[in-house]
């Protein structure tokens, strides 16, 4: 069941995954998987490749129907896929404006986002003229431009250098004040820098191995060495999770 955006704004802010099952021809990806997610902040998921994280996001978004069970989530969501999925026949600005209504287009939403993402001056360029990292930022900008209460981000920072990634992550944390963000990553540093809650997953079939709450606010404190020292144990857990992911992929 998709929760209307109006109901979400009235305070029904909980994503509920109830006994979800999904099978592909050779693998049972989810088998009666249940989880409740709070409707605020940034919730990060980490787990081995192939464990079912992307399938979970597709089920939450409604783009993929479950074989069994139900999803209670906002009916409108925005999605950053693992692939950029940009439209090559449109300009950079038009790729963002495609999700905006006429009033939003005229108000300059796309131009402001491009400047914020370090892409000012590229508005009229074609997608083919951009580097891989620039295309990635356009895809992120399009998702941010769409006014939805839920933003799903599936490994969104691929192809971004360290400085640019930090800038984009800071934009994401500001967006979390206005919507719920669910994010998949394999990078422990991304996870710890961004997460209000962190789920370590394994599978298939998909299961929650550990749930970690990080109460510190998104501010300068997450750049403080004391923060990283305090969560060194979490980083060790995330690193172990990453090693397991790599070994399963071999």
Do 180 and 5 contact (CB within 8 A), yes or no? Answer: no
Q: pLDDT by residue (tens digit) across 131-174? A: 999 999 999 999 999 999 999 999 999 999 999 999 999 999 99
Q: Is 41 left (phi over 0), alpha (psi -120 to 50) or beta?
A: left
What is 2-76+148-249's CATH topology? Rossmann fold (3.40.50)
Taking only the tens place, the pLDDT of each residue in 51-65 is: 999 999 999 999 999
Domain chopping of the chain, boundaries: 2-76+148-249
pLDDT tens for residues 183-203? 999 999 899 999 999 999 998
| Rounded (5°) CA angle 23-29-30 | 90
């Amino acid at each position: 069941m998709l929760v209307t955006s109006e109901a979400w704004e009235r305070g029904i802010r909980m994503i509920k995954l109830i006994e979800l099952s999904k099978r592909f021809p050779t693998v049972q990806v989810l088998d009666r998987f249940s989880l409740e997610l709070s409707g605020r902040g940034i919730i990060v998921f980490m787990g081995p490749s192939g464990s079912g994280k992307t399938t979970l996001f597709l089920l939450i978004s409604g783009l993929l129907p479950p074989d069994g069970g139900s999803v209670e989530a906002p009916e409108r969501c925005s999605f950053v896929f693992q692939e950029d999925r940009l439209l090559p026949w449109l300009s950079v600005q038009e790729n963002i404006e495609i999700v905006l209504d006429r009033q939003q287009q005229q108000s300059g939403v796309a131009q402001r986002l491009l400047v914020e993402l370090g892409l000012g001056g590229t508005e009229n360029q074609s997608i083919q003229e951009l580097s891989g990292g620039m295309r990635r930022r356009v895809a992120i900008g399009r998702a941010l431009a769409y006014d939805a209460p839920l933003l799903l981000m599936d490994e969104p920072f691929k192809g971004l250098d360290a400085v640019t990634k930090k800038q984009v992550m800071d934009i994401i944390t500001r967006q979390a004040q206005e919507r719920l963000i669910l994010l998949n990553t394999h990078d422990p540093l991304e996870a710890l820098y961004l997460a209000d809650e962190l789920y370590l997953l394994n599978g298939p079939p998909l299961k929650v191995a550990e749930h970690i709450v990080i109460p510190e606010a998104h501010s300068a404190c997450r750049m403080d060495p004391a923060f990283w020292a305090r969560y060194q144990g979490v980083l060790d857990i995330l690193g172990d999770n990453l090693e397991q992911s790599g070994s399963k992929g071999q």
